Structure 1
Amino acid sequence: MGRLFVVSLEGKIYSCKHCQTHLALYEDIVSKSFHCRHGKAYLFSKVVNISVGEKEERLMMTGMHTVADIFCVGCGSIVGWKYEAAHEKSQKYKEGKFILERFKVSGPDGSHYWASHEAQVVGSDADDA
């Protein structure tokens, strides 16, 4: 696999809940109003220490999007997805941005978020961005 170089962030950091690899800064949150199968999800303008999977079309609550799952480079866990393209004009602001699922990351204070039993949202997307 080769040598792995990991970016270390400073400040309020979101990290992988499995291996604590840094993923994003609090200041890079665009929206906290997103939801996925496991509960809340946050939209970030940038993330680090991820690899991007294959692009695929997904029908979400706000329409069809081209997305790619993102994986932690430290442990390989899926931590969210990247919006590659939005088919609806009103959703274009998401393009090039990243979703981190709260269930899969640790917060800046080290807290873990657990899957909500009420979270039965199908099609993972924002309720109001």
Structure 2
Amino acid sequence: MKDDIARKEQNIQTLEKEKDQLSIELLAKNEVINQQKEKIDEQAANEYKIKNLTTKLKQADKNSSVLEEELENVQKTKLYKKNEALKKYIANLTNEKEEMEKALEVQSNKIDEINQSLSASKAGT
């Protein structure tokens, strides 16, 4: 009986350590997601600047309009591809975060079950 209680208490400690580790990993994932969102915002600001600069350049030199349009398209394509890749990365991180949250909930439920079992065992002794 005492061995069973000690084993359950050890299981609780192990699960709590795993829960703490999952919480730490979840915080790290959230930080990465926030950093990636900042990069997307920064890229959007850069796209806006590029658009404004391109417009001013067209007004200053109409003779080079064909080259400027090609440059603008290349820049937009590169930024679009980068932005899409970052969005996919954030989506993957968000999925991982949700999986970790589910795992954390499962661990919490296991701890609650063991605590209830332990309380029942202690009450029975």
TM-score where L is the length of structure 1: 0.18
- Structure with greater strand share of residues: 1
Query: Higher relative contact order by CA 8 Å / sep ≥ 6: 1 or 2?
Result: 2
- Structure with greater helix share of residues: 2
TM-score where L is the length of structure 2: 0.18
